[in-house]
Structure 1
């Protein structure tokens, strides 16, 4: 089988109170998908700090019994703007009276109650120092084979590699970006809002790019009921990690359906990774887009495009996703249904 060599640049939050877990759903799919050769995970400041993301990614891979995938701790602050607003938002979510009990009880990074007979969670080594753009570039330079990059967090790492390591950037065959919002009024999705300058750099890089905007990912939907059905059908022999996934997914479902206009959770990041392996799951079109200084995405011919926006960029714009087929594919790959 001809597998696509893949790097995922992300901000995972599995096991981090207050943090979305959609990165981990996408990572688990990529790690187990037979069409993808996931060689490295880069973590970046966004949904979590990069050290938390590094620990979350490492723990997820340990649970999935994947020992050969590199995890690099990337940028821990945006290239423009600050961190405090985003850290404050996550802390507020973690302290929401509707959620923290769930997170405390189910956080897989905490030792289990001795009365259950379970062993404590395996301790991880402290997070490593932050990897420079040069360090990250080594994952691209390790082979002459083109590498696909799925960028499902803020684009700080990828922007730095493109700007500072042009030879490595030339090894990127295509970038799949989960980010941007064309609709929803003035809403700027988190990935572009955290580091809008980085998003602009990546979009203007000239590297072939598939863009998966919030407009599409908000049409996805995993409900609590559907998750319980999937979990019940999981092959516990072939997928012994199913319970570990439930330990971090169930608390987020509990919180998301109480705080967002969705009965369960959106699967934002999974759409981008699945599109890289199964293009039939999505519909797309060639589109000319531009990004405003604050990260808001526009059609290039939009009369309301603000001054200082990027040049028009041609992208493969995902316009729809088959939610049921997406969930079924994830369950087959990860839960071995």
Structure 2
């Protein structure tokens, strides 16, 4: 078995694709799924995660519910205008009803127990707000050695989608994001909007996926409203699969090309709140003192073979 993986998620249409990708990839041992508030309420994100795992025949994967609000300030806005009132474009009935409830003890407890029990360091893929991961690192600093990488979908180098500066996952809990990205020393990969939008898939790609079998058909059935929203964003007939891009990197390290940069997160109350501040200037051009970002660094995903990535996603999501 390959990479040991835990997904922390707030499903979400693209989260559903990401969970299915991991659940159907032989290269990964999916140890668990934890849920967090985000696109919709915690109750809805948890139910959706259980539905997607049931669709994939993976009721063996433990699920635990985590934070239902940010660390400090209330979440400004959910993303039901993109993902629908239930998180799945109002079409959650396209997925099977789960025959189980989330496990007891909560997300941080499950994360800690899975990392402690693993025979080798674990990859965590947070594809929602980073609240659960910040809490894990705060409560269990002794477990950092058991984490190989944290592969995060979030942030934007050239701007955001929730505000002019901030991407939704980071904006939903900037204090948690700063704890994970800046204040800790666990290796992190940040997969930002700039790349995930370039990795968007065409409506024809989705239709072909829908014809491959029950899983592809169910995933395709979730997309009409999400696709309509992204036609306006992209300017063409397609949609972003943000979270699946990050999970692809978690499954297959190096499928995305990364570069290391200094990083900080804006936690102010001003218009830049939630922005990821990534200093991409050449080292010799970086100033010292005022205006300098924090000393932390992250590997930022900046490029990929777009056709190769889409083929990777299609291959795994279409497997019988």
- TM-score, normalising length from structure 2? 0.85
In structure 2, the residue matched to 1:10 is 9
- How far does the alpha carbon of each residue in 1:237-282 deviate from its partner, in whole angstroms, 9 at most, with x for none? xxx3222222213442234324664532112111111112223432
SS of aligned partner of 2:201: coil
SS at match of 2:152: strand
The match for 1:322 is: 305
1:285-322 CA deviation, whole Å, 9 max, x = no partner?
Answer: 12222222222112347789998996221221111122
Partner SS state of residue 108, structure 1:
helix
User: Aligned partners of 1:306 and 1:92: how far apart in 2?
Assistant: 40
Q: CA 1:141–1:182 in 2, change beyond 3 Å: closer, same or farther?
A: same
Matches within 5 A, 1:84-95: 85-87=76-78, 89-90=79-80, 94=84
Q: Structure 1 residues 203-212 or 310-319, which shifts more?
A: 310-319
Q: 1:279 to 1:142 in 2, by over 3 A?
A: closer
Query: Aligned pair in 2 of structure 1 residues 227, 134: CA closer, same or farther (>3 Å)?
Result: closer
Structure 2 Cα separation of the partners of residues 306 and 94 of structure 1: 45
Alignment deviations for residues 179-209 of structure 1 (CA, whole Å, 9 cap, x no partner): 1112127420001000000001101210011
Matched residue of 1:279: which SS?
coil
Q: 1:26 to 1:283 in 2, by over 3 A?
A: same
| Match 1:165 to one of 95, 118, 140 | 140
Secondary structure of 2:8's counterpart equals: strand
Aligned to 1:226: 205
Q: Deviations over 1:95-131 (max 9, x none)?
A: 8xxxxxx955x44269xxxxxxxxxx53655666771
Structure 2 equivalent of residue 34 of structure 1: 26
CA distance in 2, matches of 1:311, 1:133: 27
Q: Does structure 2 retain, via aligned residues, the 8 Å contact 1:22–1:267?
A: yes
CA contact (8 A) 1:107 1:247 kept: no
Query: Structure 2: how far apart are the matches of 1:91 and 1:180?
Result: 20
Is 1:45–2:37 an aligned residue pair? yes
Distance in 2 of aligned mates of 1:163 and 1:44: 17
C-alpha separation in 2, matches of 1:305 and 1:12: 41
Give the unaligned 5+ runs of structure 1.
Answer: 14-20, 96-101, 111-120
Higher Cα Rg, which structure? 1
Is the contact between residue 140 and residue 172 of structure 1 (CA under 8 Å) also seen in structure 2?
Answer: yes
Q: Unpaired segments of 5 or more residues in structure 2?
A: 268-272
Partner of 2:270: none
* Superposition misfits of 4+ residues, deviation over 3 angstroms: 91-95, 121-130, 258-262, 300-310
